[in-house]
Amino acid sequence: MYEEKEGLEVTAEDLYKQKDKMYVATDCIIFGFDSGSLKLLLFRRRVSPLEGNWSLIGSFVKLNEDVGTAAKRVLEEITGLKDVYMEELKVYGAADRDPGFRCISIAQYALIRLNEYDRELVKEFGAEWFDVNELPELVLDHEQMVRDALDKLKQKARLQPLGFELLPEKFTIPQLQNVYEVIFQKELDPRNFRKKVLSHNVIVKLEEKDKSSSKRGAFLYQFDKDRYQKLIQKGNDFEVW
């Protein structure tokens, strides 16, 4: 593998010099939840080729920057949000994925609370929220990234309480159920859903009601991160639903 001569010390420096460098980018698949459907944040590409086409938000990783930091930077620039749930999706590393320049991309996906974000900023960047079921055509391999992200989201959401990341701090159980119905693309039974969610003992009922979607109103709940942490530390192998 390394073809150095026997007996001579080969330093990392010698070795690295013969090697190829390339661009490293990160693309962000940013999910939000609004009025009953899962949304994806897209923007119009500002550079040619493919200028004006819809694409994911991306950026190049700088030399002195962690890969994860790069993605958080992009997300904050565009939405103004910090401390967002964000996770690595996958590396897109095909040699020919970007025409002209060798560039690998580390896709990361984020879940954000739509009500918290600064809509102005998003507009400034030529960005727009799309229903995940009505996406436009995307540049390069971004469509594949979105498909992969949706799959991973489904998978993860079964074992980790991701639903809360997409809702405001206070939410109703029907709202939460709605989030999961959208993620899993199927209807859930309200009785079973409520039972299961409450059984884990990680959401707390408040006194207030939300009357925005019914006359009777639904009680608000809050996620209790501490209780959740304790649960999983106990090794509770926690299937959310």
182 membership: H or E segment, kind and range: helix 173-184
CA angle 121, 177, 240 (to 5 degrees): 100
Instruction: Name the one range near its own copies by CB under 8 A: 84-92, 165-173, 188-196, 222-230.
Output: 84-92
90 binds its own copies (CB under 8 A): yes
77 binds, among DNA, its own copies, none (CB under 5 to 8 A by kind): its own copies
Instruction: List the one residue from 46, 62, 123, 211 that touches DNA (CB under 7 A).
Output: 211
16 binds its own copies (CB under 8 A): yes
* Least Cβ distance, residue 211 to its own copies (angstroms): 38
139 binds its own copies (CB under 8 A): no
Closest CA to 113 of 80, 141, 91, 143: 80
Q: How far is the C-alpha of 120 from the C-alpha of 90, rounded, in Å?
A: 30
158: Cβ contacts below 8 Å, ≥ 6 apart: 239, 240, 241
Closest CA to 75 of 120, 24, 41, 45: 41
Instruction: Name the one range near DNA by CB under 7 A: 31-39, 61-69, 135-143, 172-180.
Output: 172-180
201 binds DNA (CB under 7 A): no
Kindly state the number of chain residues that form the binding site for its own copies, as judged by CB under 8 A: 51
Q: How far is the C-alpha of 183 from the C-alpha of 39, rounded, in Å?
A: 11
5 binds its own copies (CB under 8 A): no
191 binds DNA (CB under 7 A): yes
* Least Cβ distance, residue 105 to its own copies (angstroms): 10
Q: Which is nearer to its own copies, 63 or 216 (CB)?
A: 63
- Could you tell me the strand order of the sheet in which 203-210 lies? 170-172, 218-223, 203-210
Please count the other Cβ atoms lying within 10 Å of the Cβ belonging to residue 203.
19
Q: Which residues bind its own copies (CB under 8 A)?
A: 1-2, 4, 9-16, 19-24, 46-49, 51, 57, 59-69, 74, 77-78, 88, 90-91, 93-95, 98, 100-104, 106, 125
